[in-house]
Amino acid sequence: MTGRTWAIEAHGLTKRYRGKVALDGVDLQVSAGTVHGLLGPNGAGKTTTVRILTTLTRVDGGTASVAGYDVQRQSRQVRRNIGLTGQQTTVDDLLSARQNLIMFGRLFRLDRAAARRRADELLEFFGLEEAPGRSPKWFSGGMRRRLDLAASLILAPKVLFLDEPTTGLDPAGRREVWQAIRTMATSGTTVLLTTHYLDEADKLCDRVSVIDRGRNFVEDTPAGLKRRIGDEQLEVSIAHPDQLERAGALVGRITGTDPVVDREENTVTAPVADGVEALTSVAAAVRAESVGITDIGLRRPTLDEAFLQLTDGSVQPVGDTALEGSKR
C-alpha cells in the first residue's frame, strides 16, 4: 500500500438476519490515528458493522481488515489489536477502580506486576489517579465511563471501537468522555465512533461516514457534510413589522439573493458565501436607511441539519468527497 495507511478497511460488507438485509455492500476506510464517526438512524447498520469489524459477527459477503489483519481469516490477530467499549459499562461495583483495571489486565494474561503498572498508567491517563481505591458505584457518569474506556485500553490497542460511548451521560459527563477520546487519538489510537449525538461527531471526528438502510450514503468531514446543505445564512431580526419588506429588499440588493421574509418571526434570512462581508455591509446599510433591527448574525448549518437532509434523501452525495471519490 502506498500513501495513506488504513487502520480499518472494508469493501462490500453484506449481512442478513433471518432474510432481512442489515448491511448491503458497506464500504469503509479509516485512516490510522484519526477519529472516524459512523452515523445513521436507528437500524441503519452501525452496530452490525462494528460487530463484524470486531469479529463478533461473521460477515455474509465482502472483505474487511483491521490493523492490517483480515477479520475472517485472522480474527485472533484482530482481537489482539483492538479494544471495544459498548453502550453499557462493564466495570464491577464490588471492586475499586484500580482493582477493576488489574482484573482486566489479568484476564488479558498480564502478570500481576504488569497488570498493576498498567492499571496505574491508565488511572493517570484518564485523570482517575485521585480515586483508585473508590468503587465505581460512587463515580459520576463521566468518571465511570472513563474507567470503562481505560479497561478497553489495557493492551494499548491500535484501534478502539466505541459504540454510543456517551449514551445517558449528562453534559458534564459527555465533556469528560470527549476529552478522554481526544487524548487517546492524540496518543495514536485510531477510534471508530458510533453515536446518535451529532454535536459529538462534529466536535470529535476527523471524518464521518453516514449509512442508511445498510448502505453507504456519503463520507466527508463534518464541515463538508454541513456545506452540502448550503452556505451559512445571514439572519436579520426587524424591530417593526412595517419595515420587513424594505429590509428584505435591502438584504436582497446587498447579497444578490432572494431572501426569505418571515412575517411571523419578523426576520429576513439570506444565504451568503462570504458571511462576514455580507454582515458588515447589511449592518451598515440598515443603519444608514434607519431600519430598526433587534439582532443581526450569521447562522451556520448544523451537522444535525445535514444528517437529517442526507438521510431523508433531499441531499445527494456529490463530488469527490463522496465515499466513492475518497477511494482514489
Read off the pLDDT of residues 10-39 as tens digits, 9 standing for 90 and up.
Answer: 999 999 998 889 999 999 999 999 999 998
Percent of the chain with pLDDT over 70: 89
| The C-alpha cell that represents 289 in the structure block | 436607511
> Which three-class secondary structure state does DSSP give residue 100?
helix
Residues 215, 59 contacting (CB under 8 angstroms): no
CA angle 61, 67, 69 (to 5 degrees): 50
Q: How many CB atoms lie within 10 A of CB 294?
A: 11
Q: Which residue has the cell 466536535?
A: 203
pLDDT, the chain, mean: 85
Distance of CA 88 to CAs 27, 145, 156, Å?
A: 27, 9, 21
CA dist., res. 250 & res. 283, Å (int): 10
For the stretch 236-247, pLDDT in tens is 999 999 999 999
Kindly report the CATH class assigned to 6-81+157-226. Answer: alpha beta
Task: Kindly indicate the confidence band of residue 115, based on its pLDDT and cuts at 50, 70 and 90.
Answer: very high
Q: What is the pLDDT of residues 288-324, one digit of tens each?
A: 989 999 999 988 766 766 677 666 654 444 333 333 3
CA distance 105 to 116: 8
Q: Does the domain made of 232-299 have the CATH classification 3.40.50.300? A: no
Domain boundaries, the chain: 6-81+157-226, 232-299
Handedness of CA 267, 268, 271, 272 (dihedral sign): negative
Helices then strands, each counted (H, E), the chain: 12, 14
Look up the pTM and report it: 0.73
Identical fold between 6-81+157-226 and 232-299: no
Cα 321 to Cα 73: distance, rounded to the nearest angstrom? 32
Closest CA to 12 of 224, 323, 313: 323
